[in-house]
Amino acid sequence: MSGSKAFVEGLKRENVDIMFGVTGGALLPICDELWGSDLRFVMARHEQGAAHMADGYARALGRVGVCLATSGPGATNLVTGIATANIDSSPVVAFTGQVPLSLVGTDAFQEVDIIGISASATKYNIQVRSPSEIPLAIKSAFHIASTGRQGAVLVDIPKDCQIDVEDIEFPDEVSFRGYKVNLEPNPREMDWAATLLSKARRPVIMAGGGVISSNASAEVIKIADMLMAPVVTSLMGKGTVPSDHPLFAGLCGMHGTGEANLLVSDADILLVVGARFSDRTTARLEDFGRGAKVIHIDIDRSEVDKNVETVTRVIGDAKLALQGIIERLAKLSYEPRANGDWIKKMNKFKKQYTPPERPNNPHMRAPAIMKALRKVLPRNALVTTEVGQNQMWAALYFDAYAPRTFFTSGGLGTMGWGFPAAIGAKAARPDVPVVDIAGDGSFAMTENSLATAVEENLPVIVVVLNNRMLGMVAQWQRFFYGRRYMAVKLGEYPDFVKLAEAYGAVGVRPETIGEFEKAVQTAMDDNLTTVIDVPIDPEENVFPMVPPGKGLRDLMVEA
Amino acid sequence: MLPLNTIAFLVENKAGVLFNVSNMFRRRGFNIESISVGAVEDPQVARMTVSVYADSKELNQIVLQLEKMVDVIKVKRLDPMRSIMREMVLIKLDTVDPMAREETLRHVNAYHGLILHIDPESLIAEVTGEPEAIDEFISKTRPIGIEEISRTGVTALEKGNLKLER
Ligand SMILES: Cc1ncc(C[n+]2csc(CCOP(=O)(O)OP(=O)(O)O)c2C)c(N)n1
Ligand SMILES: [Mg+2]
């Protein structure tokens, strides 16, 4: 069998039915094999988009997303997408074509060393050296991408390995001497964690993306209820606890809610689940949870004590760890009602900050747009964001009610991620509306994905919070650089309505919140790719904000 | 200055693994003082020894980051009290002057080294020992005139029944 046949068969054995990609010379044999197969190939217009689509698909389903690119520039174009998926622990497998083995290393036409280039941007990568290696490479890639702390894996397939015919066997299993996934947490670590928690007076739970990966939301809510502990999330953890849960205190971090940041700062025990203490979440490290004993649950041992010192840790699957702790806690005598004052404090904090009304400003306000969007969308709609102010407004003011409904590029902050990721999410969940909450700058980076959305019938709604600015950068310039707006003004073009129309999508520009709600409703009803261009005040800031170098407590709520 | 630590680990003996290991050190800003690689009994496995300046927190991260790598099989920080550490140096000294030659022989003998090659102008010696001893030997021969030097980097084994087992 040829390498290409082995490739297609290998993917089928991993239950792949869709992939996102851009073809080219070094992928021709594989693409020819895909002709007539029942695998769906979604054509992106840029490989970055293809990788983000695979990433969005993966996050929406919790299953591996697949993307493809040709050698050379195709492969380098993928890199942003792979790095974005990997740092957010999203299971993506990327395949790249490569020049024939005989030319590898000769600087041949469209040869890049994608193995070297992607080494720091992937969890693992493999270059195939013969057709018979393809099945094992695929099996390994899917196994590594989807187990343990999930991530991106790249498989590079030289063209001759796609063409040549060899005897090929398909392994049922892979094993690596150096890669063992240990899901089972250590009982003693769980004992210790439960004991500490039982003594907490001011407990706070911080839920990160790992809670979503391990499907542990129910356990987080359960333990929060048992302890009467407020729950804050990292950006990646948004959705783990429904926003309308009484113990939910919102996002923690540089653009965290007042209550989340203050609660974390005042806690005596901090139970951190599947989060990695990124600098955007902790703000000034020295001040982070200073009075708190930190208990860290994570599947990735190298994250423990990397940034924040813990008193105890539980290494393993978050769901199993929480179940174990809950079981132990139930047997211990403790008095959660003693936390009554703590809950009162949370509720007081919650009231402290609500964004001020500005009755004389003619512009629609971003927080109001987020609330209106929430009102129109069903609870199970999927939302992605771009990067910048739009992302933070979405994180702060758009309520998420369930895991795997809110997706954002948290680790890399990749502008242009949200739109193709939304298309990937739509491919995964055609049954629900999918919305990209965008900024004008970010949308411009991957707006060519409109072609894919329209041509491939993957209708998504893009809400462009259009400030004609690289708004988040401008906000920093306002606060810290004397309003010198260097390289942030985007000018009058493009006209996003016309742009949408040029691609065969629908474009609308609402002028009131009412019109905006109607536009969203229509887009859902018609199930058409729609760009809703919402003009907003270029000077609007995202608040609260912890200025760089400051601790979580030092949050600004106005300019 | 940060203490020098030695870490030994087993890796898959295949292309790209050395790159991945050194890339991880570079990316995370850990400074490799020396690295040595070689075959072991199992042809599919290679053993690496890295010495690195690091405080205990950093050292912990290095071990964990190595353990996390798919192609790294087993990692161990070596306790200097319970390990034998050795390094070898090849050194070429300027020995035109007969006095220099005599002095060289004296130092090489003192460090239980070997003279491997003698030319009219120079001589190549081999010395094996603990890395500190090699440092010492080199600084003692420096006044003679070092033409060229090549060190292997540290390699190490634990004493008794301690082992880097899989
Ligand atoms: C690919 C990429 N380039 C540059 C940046 C730096 N950056 C962060 S936010 C931002 C502005 C984003 O502008 P826009 O999408 O309009 O969002 P806004 O902040 O205006 O809502 C920039 C340039 C980035 N995050 N990603
Ligand atoms: Mg903008």
Domain span including residue B113: 84-155
Residue A558: the pLDDT is 82
**A177 contacts on B by Cβ (under 8 Å):** 12, 73, 166
B57 and B121 both lie in a single domain: no
The DSSP result for A290-359, as a single string, is: TT-EEEEEES-GGGTTTSS--SEEEES-HHHHHHHHHHHHHHS---GGGGHHHHHHHHHHHHH--PPP-T
Residue B50 domain flag:
yes
Q: CA–CA separation, A324 vs B32, rounded Å?
A: 41
B41 and B66 both lie in a single domain: yes
The secondary structure element, H or E, covering residue A427 is helix A418-428
Residue B163 domain flag:
no
B50 and B97 both lie in a single domain: no
- Give the 3-state secondary structure of residue B130: coil
Closest CA to A108 of A189, A215, A26: A26
Question: Are A530 and A462 within 8 A, CB to CB?
Answer: yes
Q: Which of residues 20-79 of B touch A (CB under 8 A)?
A: 20, 23, 27, 57, 60-61, 64-65, 67-74
- Atom of ligand 1 at shortest range from CA of A444: 15
Residue B164 domain flag:
no
**B74 contacts on A by Cβ (under 8 Å):** 178
Give chain B's domain count: 2
The two beta strands, A152-158 and A92-98, are parallel
B101 and B139 both lie in a single domain: yes
Question: Are A436 and A466 within 8 A, CB to CB?
Answer: no
Q: CA–CA separation, A440 vs A535, rounded Å?
A: 10
pLDDT in tens, B91-109: 999 999 999 999 999 999 9
Residue B69 domain flag:
yes
CATH number, domain containing residue B98: 3.30.70.1150
Residue B117 domain flag:
yes
Domain end point (choices B46, B77, B108): B77
Q: How would you write the pLDDT of chain A (559 residues) with one tens digit per residue?
A: 999 999 999 999 999 999 999 999 999 999 999 998 999 999 999 999 999 999 999 999 999 999 999 999 999 999 999 999 999 999 999 999 999 999 999 999 999 999 999 999 999 999 999 999 999 999 999 999 999 999 999 999 999 999 999 999 999 999 999 999 999 999 999 999 999 999 999 999 999 999 999 999 999 999 999 999 999 999 999 999 999 999 999 999 999 999 999 999 999 999 999 999 999 999 999 999 889 999 999 999 999 999 999 999 999 999 999 999 999 999 998 877 666 889 999 988 888 766 667 777 788 999 999 999 999 999 999 999 999 999 999 999 999 999 999 999 999 999 999 999 999 999 999 999 999 999 999 999 999 999 999 999 999 999 999 999 999 999 999 999 999 999 999 999 999 999 999 999 999 999 999 999 999 999 999 999 999 999 999 999 999 999 999 999 998 888 7
Residue B161 domain flag:
no
Q: Is the CB of A465 under 6 A from ligand 1?
A: yes
Q: Which domains does chain A have, with CATH numbers?
A: 3-163 (3.40.50.970), 187-352 (3.40.50.1220), 366-535 (3.40.50.970)
Question: Are A209 and A193 within 8 A, CB to CB?
Answer: no
CB-CB under 8 Å, A178 with B72: yes
The secondary structure element, H or E, covering residue B144 is none
Q: CA–CA separation, A507 vs A498, rounded Å?
A: 7
- Atom of ligand 1 at shortest range from CA of A386: 15
**B19 contacts on A by Cβ (under 8 Å):** 116, 119
Å between A154 CA and nearest CA of chain B? 14
Q: What angle do CA A301, A219, A435 make, to 5 degrees?
A: 90
The best mutation among A443, A462, A470 to test binding of ligand 1, ranked by most ligand atoms within 8 Å of the C-beta, falls on: A470
CB-CB under 8 Å, A123 with B27: no
Cα(A535) to ligand 2 centroid in Å equals 10
B40 and B90 both lie in a single domain: no
**Longest Cα–Cα distance in chain A:** 75
- Give the 3-state secondary structure of residue A176: strand
Catalytic residues of A: 47, 109-110, 159, 472
Scan for tokens 């063992």, then name that residue: A180
Q: Is the CB of A415 under 6 A from ligand 1?
A: yes
3-state helix, strand, coil in chain A (%, to 5): 45, 15, 40
Question: Are A374 and A435 within 8 A, CB to CB?
Answer: no
Closest CA to A534 of A461, A463, A469, A435: A463
Q: How would you write the pLDDT of chain B (166 residues) with one tens digit per residue?
A: 889 999 999 999 999 999 999 999 999 999 899 999 999 999 999 999 999 999 999 999 999 999 999 999 999 999 999 999 999 999 999 999 999 999 999 999 999 999 999 999 999 999 999 999 999 999 999 999 999 999 999 999 999 999 997 5
B72 and B102 both lie in a single domain: no
Q: For residue A472, give the ligand nearest its CA.
A: 1
Question: Are A548 and A554 within 8 A, CB to CB?
Answer: no
B71 and B107 both lie in a single domain: no
Domain end point (choices B77, B101, B129): B77
CATH number, domain containing residue B42: 3.30.70.260
B38 and B16 both lie in a single domain: yes
CB-CB under 8 Å, B12 with A177: yes
**A105 contacts on B by Cβ (under 8 Å):** none
Residue A362: the pLDDT is 81
Residue B13 domain flag:
yes
Domain end point (choices B55, B77, B99): B77
- Atom of ligand 1 at shortest range from CA of A80: 1
Q: CA–CA separation, A270 vs A289, rounded Å?
A: 7
- Atom of ligand 1 at shortest range from CA of A390: 21
Q: What angle do CA A112, A114, A117 make, to 5 degrees?
A: 105
Residue B127 domain flag:
yes
**C-alpha distances out from residue A325 to A184, A186, A187, A219, A320, Å:** 13, 11, 9, 10, 9
Q: A442-445, long-range: CB within 8 Å, 24+ apart, which pairs?
A: A442/A386, A442/A387, A442/A388, A442/A390, A442/A415, A442/A416, A442/A417, A442/A418, A443/A386, A443/A416, A443/A419, A443/A496, A444/A416, A444/A490, A444/A494, A445/A415, A445/A416
Å between A61 CA and nearest CA of chain B? 25
**B60 contacts on A by Cβ (under 8 Å):** 305
Q: Which amino acid type is present at position A408?
A: T
CB-CB under 8 Å, A301 with B70: no
B66 and B128 both lie in a single domain: no
Å between A307 CA and nearest CA of chain B? 10
B59 and B89 both lie in a single domain: no
Q: Which of residues 97-136 of B touch A (CB under 8 A)?
A: none
Tell me A103's DSSP state: G
Closest CA to B40 of A126, A177, A130, A137: A177
The DSSP result for B13-41, as a single string, is: -STTHHHHHHHHHHHTT--EEEEEEEE-S
Å between B103 CA and nearest CA of chain A? 48
Residue A337: the pLDDT is 65
B15 and B70 both lie in a single domain: yes
Please tell me which of the candidates A116, A124, A306 has its beta carbon nearest to residue B70: A124
B112 and B147 both lie in a single domain: yes
Question: Are B88 and B138 within 8 A, CB to CB?
Answer: no
Residue A354: the pLDDT is 67
Q: Is the CB of A387 under 6 A from ligand 1?
A: yes
Please tell me which of the candidates B57, B64, B73 has its beta carbon nearest to residue A178: B73
